[in-house]
Amino acid sequence: MARKLKTKAKKGPISPKRDERARKRGASDDEIGVFRAEIDRIDDVILGLLNKRARLAIEIGKAKASRNLAFYSSQRERAIFDRLSAKNKGPFPNEALRAVFREIMSASLSLERPLRVSFLGPRATFTHLACLQYFGRSSRFIPEKNIKGVFEGVERERVDYGVIPIENSTEGVIAHTLDLLMECDVRICEEIMIEISLDLLSRSESLDDIRRVYSHSHAIAQCRNWLEDHLEGVEIIEVPSTAKAAEIVSAEPDSGAVASSYAAKLYDLNVLEKRIQDMPHNYTRFLVIGKRDEAPTGRDKTSLMFALKDSVGALYHALKPFAEHGVNLTKIESRPCKGKPWEYIFFVDLEGHHTDEKLAAALEAFREGCSDLKLLGSYPQGLPVDAGDRPQTGKSGRS
What does the pLDDT look like over 112-144, one tens digit per residue?
Answer: 888 999 998 888 889 999 999 899 999 999 999
Contact 201, 272 (CB under 8 A): yes
For residue 256, pLDDT over 80 is answered with yes
Name the fold adopted by 114-196+283-288.
D-Maltodextrin-Binding Protein; domain 2 (3.40.190)
Residue 78 has pLDDT above 50, yes or no: yes
Give Cα 19 to chain centroid, integer Å: 39
Does domain 21-108 fall into CATH 1.20.59.10? Answer: yes
The DSSP-derived string for 329-364 is EEEEEEEEPTTSTT-EEEEEEEES-TTSHHHHHHHH
- Omega of the bond prior to 165 within 30 degrees of 0, cis? no
Q: From the CB of residue 102, how many other CB atoms can be counted at a distance below 10 Å? A: 20
213, 249 contact by CB (below 8 A): no
- Domain boundaries in the chain? 21-108, 114-196+283-288, 199-273, 300-380
163-188: average pLDDT: 89
> How many CB atoms within 10 Å of residue 370?
18
Write a three-state SS string for 1-32: CCCCCCCCCCCCCCCHHHHHHHHHCCCCHHHH
What is the CATH code for 300-380?
Answer: 3.30.70.260
110 class by beta-carbon count within 10 Å (0-12 exposed, 13-18 middle, 19+ buried):
middle
From residue 119, alpha-carbon distances to 135, 148, 321 in Å are 12, 10, 37
Q: Do domains 199-273 and 300-380 have the same CATH topology?
A: no
Per-residue pLDDT reduced to its tens digit, 27-49 = 677 888 899 999 999 999 999 99
**CA distance linking residue 289 with residue 134, whole number of Å:** 13
Q: Which fold has domain 199-273?
A: D-Maltodextrin-Binding Protein; domain 2 (3.40.190)
